[in-house]
Structure 1
């Protein structure tokens, strides 16, 4: 039987999201890095009071209301901001605009595997530069690769580690292609790469409202870059890529900085507590600046067995069955009660 698809699509594997529990099944869900706290009440109020008349019309194609609000919060001109249906939408725009066969896509590994998937869709070559065990950025190898696009997740997933600004600066200064700094987890970190956007025309910083703003179900993200770079992305984006409801709710959410910061702080306090507790149980936990941790299980134990046991107890964490990660668990930070339940079950399993 002949295929209907391009050879690159036939050859690839699709992106596999983290496991979702069946509807109405109550679990402690610590596997997909969602914020355990509700969104800003101001954002919820906008959703509840949304005018039905606005559903009849097409939304503003550039999500102008949001861009102006984000401009005021971040201190960046509104025409330096481009909204998307989640930051994954911005990743797709970048791939459409910059990658093709013969134009390599480069990133350190392990990291967010959607970078690989989107490159494969375009039929672009991928160059995967291995991270060392401590997840320090392999700057020289990334520069040598000279990708049409170089992706750096900062903080990185699945490690949670952040990259010093001076290393990102060095990378930007020595690349001829686009440097994409994916700051999906920046609301839980201590630094941002936004200053590089004004310094380098080839740098774009991506943000999402899924994590720090507790709006993963809304699907809203944005990119910040020089308008020269955004111009090409606007050419390839979907015509109305952000819906009216998402734009209105996101606008209210990004303006409520105080609520977002308070929510992130609660997560950071629990991140430290979980890290300390797991370390006392013999785990090696990388220093995280995200809303999750990557924990290497004690040498005499099996990560997949712990993952399966937790799942049987209704606690979902993330296990990656691949070299370099198969002795580790990625654990999203939940509420204090959820985290305590996790720690109790892990402790009980290790004693058994």
Structure 2
């Protein structure tokens, strides 16, 4: 760090992304990326004609992309905001709905960025422990007056909170916003998007990174009432009006319109996930029930950190979090069938060496 760094910045604990090493050709099962390439319609949309327009700013309203999203979810364009990944939109939500006198509440085991944003904006955060079985008890949030952030399915465990429980939160206090982060919902979860017509205090945030195969395109979107979206736009236009680049706008619109490819990819991931769970359980692993494109698993025979290191030595990356409640677990992204077969084979070899 330089001598110029402010004390406020020095106090921050940055989010740690998954490893992206380039020293050897790893099988990457650590960052929840899709094993599939973008839709052929996306490749076609990112044309030479669009490349030649890169001297011009992108549309700050992201009109083409917003209309495609609105059509897909049967909403009005005024209920949609596109962003530079769902991370940006979640950050906007922290800034828009939290502040003096209004804090944020979220679970202790969840997406690590929530804690970072709360500190970044100097927002009071109430971190509520998950139950012993890693589920959320909404009764713990009922009396909280600030904004509530729920990753559903949860970003670490893959477990889903039933929609009826989220409705309880929405109805318990109409004067607070409930932000539902649905980064993984397409892999077997149930979206809260159909509830938007009933609740004006609901904000749903999704991403193109997982189920729409565009992690490198950095695209996300928020769905909510026109008033909530206007609030987010106020933050956006105070920060970065041209937040989505020209190529990602056309790529995202094409991806959103290719429903057949989207359904094909998520079905394939679900099939491979089910196979992986069976194989890991047959090897003695405990695997939490997942509606995401990853599994959260632990073995009585291997501490989580040791399994992570052994697999890395053998060319496979999984994600391990050195935190008290989850130290025994590894989060394993669902890759291609061939990649998951290799993972299982390597684990069998490691068990055989014990």
TM-score by length of 2: 0.95
Q: Is residue 303 of structure 2 the alignment partner of residue 302 of structure 1?
A: yes
Deviations 1:73-115 (A, max 9, x none): 1111111000000011101211222223542111012000101
Distance apart, 1:135 and its partner CA: 2.6
Q: Distance in 1 between matches of 2:100 and 2:225?
A: 26
Q: Distance in 2 between matches of 1:251 and 1:179?
A: 27
- Of 152, 156, 159, which aligns to 2:157? 159
Deviations 1:292-324 (A, max 9, x none): 0000212x4322111100000110000011011
Q: Is the 8 A contact 1:108 1:138 kept in 2?
A: no
Correspondence 1:1-352 to 2 at 5 A: 4=4, 7-22=7-22, 25-147=24-146, 149-175=147-173, 176-237=175-236, 238-298=240-300, 300-352=301-353
Partner secondary structure for residue 284 of structure 1 = strand
Distance apart, 1:243 and its partner CA: 1.0
Q: Is the 8 A contact 1:50 1:245 kept in 2?
A: no
Q: Distance in 1 between matches of 2:3 and 2:197?
A: 46
Moved over 3 A (4+): 1-8
Q: Distance in 2 between matches of 1:225 and 1:277?
A: 40
Q: Distance in 2 between matches of 1:101 and 1:5?
A: 25
Q: Distance in 2 between matches of 1:157 and 1:62?
A: 29
Q: Is the 8 A contact 2:102 2:145 kept in 1?
A: no
Unaligned runs of 5+ in 1: none
- Alignment CA distance shift 1:64-1:50 (3 Å): same
Q: Is the 8 A contact 2:108 2:130 kept in 1?
A: yes
- Alignment CA distance shift 1:74-1:219 (3 Å): same
Unaligned runs of 5+ in 2: none
Q: Distance in 2 between matches of 1:284 and 1:206?
A: 30
Q: Distance in 2 between matches of 1:233 and 1:224?
A: 11
CA RMSD in angstroms comes to 1.6
- Alignment CA distance shift 1:249-1:311 (3 Å): same
Q: Is the 8 A contact 1:179 1:203 kept in 2?
A: yes
* Greater Cα offset, 160-169 or 185-194: 185-194
Distance apart, 1:67 and its partner CA: 1.0
Distance apart, 1:6 and its partner CA: 5.3
